[in-house]
Amino acid sequence: MVIPPPVRPPRITKFLKPYVLKMHFTNKYVSAQVVHSPTATVASSASSQEKVLRSSMENTRDVAAAAKIGKLLGERLLLRDVPAVSVFLKREQKYHGKVKAVIDSLREAGVKLL
């Protein structure tokens, strides 16, 4: 049984940013996803845990892997007709290193950042 996401009232959804980029970094993997805020669903995601990507990467947790994940996510977003995303950084994340690699490769793939 599939539980649908909660429907937010229109007075709230008009102030939400439609597509938000969220990134997660562990000691082994890099993952990023774009969430559609009004419906609380995942529009697209990419991770270095994917079996196809692991064989082509020599390391699944460094800056080069983060750049590859950002590029792949950008291509998937353009296939789903998502032209722009806004970036959501956690409190401890700074625009440096892996975070910068994901965001810059998204921008190079053709996705606008809000």
Per residue in 33-43, pLDDT (tens digit) is 999 988 888 99
With a cut of 70, say whether residue 16 has pLDDT above it. Answer: no
% the chain with pLDDT above 70: 90
**What CA–CA distance (Å, rounded) separates 58 from 1?**
39
Average pLDDT over residues 56-78: 92
85-111 pLDDT tens trace: 999 888 888 999 999 999 999 999 999
Residue 13 has pLDDT above 90, yes or no: no
| Mean predicted confidence (pLDDT) in 19-31 | 93
DSSP state, 57?
Answer: -
Domain map (residue ranges) of the chain: 15-113
Burial of 98 (0-12, 13-18, 19+ CB in 10 A): buried
Please give the average per-residue pLDDT across 26-53, as a whole number. Answer: 91
pLDDT at 91: 85
CATH number of 15-113: 3.30.420.100
Cα gap 21→12, rounded to integer Å: 19
Q: Where are the alpha helices (DSSP H) in the chain?
A: 10-13, 51-56, 63-79, 98-109
